Amino acid sequence: MDDQDLLEQARGALDSAYVPYSDYRVGAAIETSDGTVFTGCNIETANYSNSLHAEETAVAKAVSAGHREFTRLAVTSSARDGVTPCGMCRQTLAEFCGEELRILCDDDDTEEYTLGALLPAAISRDTLEDANDGAAGDRKD
Ligand code: THU
Ligand code: ZN
């Protein structure tokens, strides 16, 4: 599957977006290391806070199906405006993906980034393990 195919899958998820508040549809497609693709859309709620982002939905579908290794992510919006994953989604991606993850953003020309470029110096599991000197659970405070 080439980059345009993955973007097309992300575009296909736009139809399912539930966006009564923003009217801004976002679609995502994430490819696993075995080539399986999971799509996601944004799903809004009346309290706003519980709203799910398209990238989160795609990652949740993939992880809940047993996949934790990813190679590429494609993101689009109904405006085809080159939307990039927000800060929260970047952190969610960093939980499972390395800095080399390719992120394709849909625009007149596809914009390509890496996760490392979009989220440099991310906090990670290593940060916490280093801080605990490998003794997580032994702290008294
Ligand atoms: N949105 C996403 O789905 N992904 C992002 O990373 C950026 C924002 C959604 C959330 C909300 O439903 C709408 O776009 C407007 O912010
Ligand atoms: Zn987001």
Residue 63 in contact with ligand 1 by CB distance below 6 A? no
pLDDT class of 133 with cuts at 50, 70, 90:
confident
To test the pocket of ligand 1, the residue of 19, 21, 26, 83 to mutate (highest count of ligand atoms within 8 Å of its CB) is 26
- pLDDT of residue 140 exceeding 80: no
pLDDT class of 132 with cuts at 50, 70, 90:
confident
CA of 1 to the centre of ligand 1 (A): 26
Contact, 41 vs 18, CB < 8 A?
yes
What's the confidence (pLDDT) of residue 54?
98
pLDDT class of 137 with cuts at 50, 70, 90:
low
- CA of residue 139 relative to chain centroid, distance: 33
Q: Please write the tens of the pLDDT for every residue from 60-74.
A: 999 999 999 999 999
Report the pLDDT averaged over residues 42-51: 98
| Catalytic (active site) residue 111 | no
Q: 3-138 has which CATH code?
A: 3.40.140.10
> In whole angstroms, what is the distance from residue 139 CA to residue 44 CA?
39
